Structure 1
Amino acid sequence: MQALFYFLISKQLWKNLLIMILVSVFLVIAVNQTLKIYTRHGQKIPLPDYEGESITSASEDAERRTFEIIIADSVYMVGRRGGIILDQIPEAGQLVKEDRKIYVTTTKFKPDMIRLEDLPPFYGRNYERTARVLDMAHSIRSSITERTFDPGPEGHIMGVLFEGDTIIYRDRIKEGVQIPIGGSLGFIVSQQRGGTVEVPNLVCRTYDEAEFIIASYKLRVGTTRMQGEVSSLDRAFVVGQDPEFTSDARIEMGSTINLILSEQKPQDCDSLEE
């Protein structure tokens, strides 16, 4: 027991213990510093600026720096190629740790499509106002491709064309049409002078009615030929006209329409009126 006591208080024991403690502390500090040097553990790195770069090159650079780029959103921009980074979170220059995720917004390669029925109404609306709305809301460009007579106010939309195809004419709308953001539309716009007008359907009308309709279309009554005996124009009905009416027939404004009149109303007038 006495030998153990002398051993515990011996200088050699405490000397060895002190050496062991110092070595252990040194090893811990050395290992920690080595890890910091080789892995930069605990350090923060300034984040590069990826805005304006392509997503491909930015992702490759981020991977070399142990970052990960994630596309959070994408938008179509007219005139800009797809896959370009518009903004990033965190912002460039911020100090971040390794393995940090960077969320970016990029440009789309293809434009979004808008259904024709989801666009604002066209027929009868003011062209200038409609063109501004389309440009501001959907970046859709507008142009006037044709002007046509209409007795209503000038500058109103009578028809719409897309890629050379008439998709709206008066109250007729083509179904299943989709317009790309950044696309173009052509418009047929009303005017009260010049141009062409539709050929009105005058058959079955009285002469007075036909004369009024012809004048409202900015046309003139041409020759009148009687079929049978007509005692008075007030009692005459239109039984024929030249040019004839069809759904797509048009005539220059100021032109004449020749009429064939009869005191007998055509037999199929009632069915036409229905």
Structure 2
Amino acid sequence: MNCMPMNPVRWLLQKPFWVNLLAVCMLVVLLGVLFFASLRWITRHGETATVPDIMGKPYDEAVRLLEQAHFRVVVQDSGYTDTLPPLTVLRQEPEAHAVVKVYRTVYLTLNKIVPPMAVMPNLVNMSYRSAVLTLQTLKLNVGDTVYKPDIARNAVLAQLYNGQPIKPGILIPEGSRITLVLGDGIGNQANPVPNLIGLTFMQARELLSASNLSVGVVLFDGPITDTASAYVYKQIPAPLNANGQPNLIYAGQSIDLWVSQTPRDSTGQPLPQPNF
């Protein structure tokens, strides 16, 4: 007697057709039940979680909070805000407190480590409002405002960065604070016009600055090899009026100067040079 086990395939083939069909159907049903039973577990259907608020938090802390809430994390982009430290979360998607499926990916935008650079504009002679708008457009900030006597009220007289004058075109980090020196208008106190005749142009400018006055129009008589050492021989307004009384001037006003390379009298005639 042959005790060899029968091949299952041969056994199925030996059965009637309806038996084979029934076996196949039962196998399909069993696989379907197993698939749909595991589908809910695979897709986490119906399982949701609330996205935590990680705006303004450091990257490491944001990742920890998201992973604890069963979310994945992907850094999608970067931006820059000067008021936040580097690698701080600027934006998140989905937004905070949104209810979404667990294990969803949350996309982050982080603050850059190195700030972008901006080109320093020329703000001199702009109004204060125009200067502020210009700085905001370039993502720069207004720092201190310093007022100086000048006829141009609220006009920018100088621009400073870290306490030093800064020229237009210099590259500085976005978010830098620019100090604006503004004119506060003509002063209320009138003072005698200083006598600048015979001073060098540099001395005259320093005296005017100390008196809260400014240099107006400068007219040169003859060739000038060194402006700083050129001599003032005429000024308007003059120190004295036609009656010999002192002329008065307000802080913030300017004085026009006539200068030459060599000393001259008030009519423009050269003064005699001493013989040694």
TM-score (norm 1): 0.53
Aligned to 1:80: 84
Q: CA RMSD in A?
A: 4.7
Match of residue 51 from structure 2: 48
Deviation track 1:149-207 (CA, whole Å, cap 9, x = no partner) reads 45xx333222211112112xxxxxx36523333322223333433624349868749xx
Question: How far apart are residue 115 of structure 1 and its match?
Answer: 0.7
1:52-79 deviations in whole A, cap 9, x for unaligned? 2433233345557362413224231x43
Q: Equivalent residue for 1:166?
A: 165
For the residue of structure 2 that corresponds to 1:57, the secondary structure is: helix
Alpha carbons of structure 1 residues 30 and 155: separation in structure 2 relative to 1, 3 Å:
closer
Which secondary structure does the structure 1 equivalent of 2:75 belong to?
Answer: strand
Any conservation in 1 of the 2:216–2:254 contact (CA below 8 Å)?
no
Match of 2:123 in 1: 122
- The one of 162, 181, 193 aligned to 1:188: 181
Q: Does 1:220 align with 2:228?
A: no
- Contact kept? 1:160, 1:186, Cα under 8 Å: yes
Per-residue CA shift, 1:234-267, capped at 9, x if unaligned? xxxxxxxxxxxxxxxxx99899x9x962767349
Matched, 1:178 2:171: yes
Matches within 5 A, 1:126-165: 126-131=127-132, 133-135=134-136, 138-149=139-150, 153-165=152-164
Looking at structure 2, the residues matched to 20 and 188 of structure 1 have their Cα atoms a distance apart, in angstroms, of: 91
Give me the whole-angstrom Cα distance separating, in 2, the residues matched to 1:49 and 1:144. Answer: 41
Residue-pair matches, total? 207
Alpha-carbon distance between aligned partners in 1 of 2:221 and 2:161, rounded to the nearest angstrom? 37
Distance 1:93 1:252, change over 3 A: closer
Tell me, yes or no, if the aligned pair for 2:148 and 2:182 is still in contact at 8 Å: yes
| % same residue | 15
Residue 8 of structure 1 corresponds to which residue in structure 2?
Answer: 16
Q: Distance in 2 between matches of 1:55 and 1:40?
A: 28
Length-normalised TM-score, structure 2: 0.53
Q: What is the CA distance between 1:26 and its match in structure 2?
A: 3.2
Structure 1 pair 220/189, CA: closer, same or farther in 2 (3 Å)?
farther
Q: Contact 1:89–1:102 (CA<8 Å) still a contact in 2? A: yes
Cα distance in 1 between the residues matched to 2:61 and 2:15: 70
Distance (whole Å) between structure 2 residues aligned to residue 87 and residue 137 of structure 1: 22
Structure 1: which 5+ runs fail to align?
Answer: 1-5, 168-173, 223-250, 268-274
Instruction: Determine if contact 1:202/1:210 at 8 Å carries over to the other structure.
Output: no
**Would the aligned equivalents of 2:84 and 2:111 in 1 still touch at CA under 8 Å?**
yes
